[in-house]
């Protein structure tokens, strides 16, 4: 299942179910400004994330997303501890705006 501006197109309930069941494959939303702790942790089917307004990625936000390959967070300035840890398919992470903070182990066990 994929989401684009989830609340506008699919509503809160469907988004909530896909996230809690960890079946989400693609997540795109231009309204979100921060990814909270554990938000996508172990979403093993997640492959693509596009969040153009996000400035902060909290601790463990994407940890264990084994199939995550495409991440676009052009305004991210703050990436916290273990944010992308164990994302074993993530080969590159463009960080054009990260000027504030990249924590230790943010990309632990990534290729």
Domain boundaries, the chain: 1-111
pLDDT at 9 over 50: no
Full strand arrangement of the beta sheet holding 70-72: 2-4, 26-28, 48-50, 70-72
d(CA 80, CA 77): 10
**The whole model's pTM is what?**
0.80
pLDDT digits (tens, 9 = 90+) for 53-97: 999 999 999 999 999 999 999 999 899 999 999 999 998 777 666
Contact 27, 51 (CB under 8 A): yes
Residue 102 forms beta bridges with which residues?
79
State the CATH class of domain 1-111.
alpha beta
Average pLDDT over residues 30-34: 88
pLDDT recorded at residue 97: 65
pLDDT recorded at residue 13: 61
Tell me if residue 48 falls in helix, strand or coil. Answer: strand
Q: Which residues contact 98 (CB under 8 A, 6 or more apart)?
A: 76, 77, 78, 79
d(CA 48, CA 40): 12
């Amino acid at each position: 299942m994929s989401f684009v501006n989830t609340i506008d197109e699919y509503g809160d309930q469907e988004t909530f179910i896909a996230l809690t069941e960890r079946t989400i494959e693609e997540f795109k939303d231009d309204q979100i400004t921060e990814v909270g702790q554990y938000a996508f942790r172990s979403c093993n089917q997640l492959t693509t994330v596009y969040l153009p307004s996000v400035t902060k990625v909290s601790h463990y936000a994407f940890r264990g997303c084994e199939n995550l390959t495409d991440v676009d967070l052009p305004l991210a300035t703050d990436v916290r501890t273990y944010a992308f840890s164990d994302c074993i398919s993530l080969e590159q992470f463009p960080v054009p705006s990260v000027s504030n903070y990249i924590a230790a182990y943010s990309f632990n066990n990534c290729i």
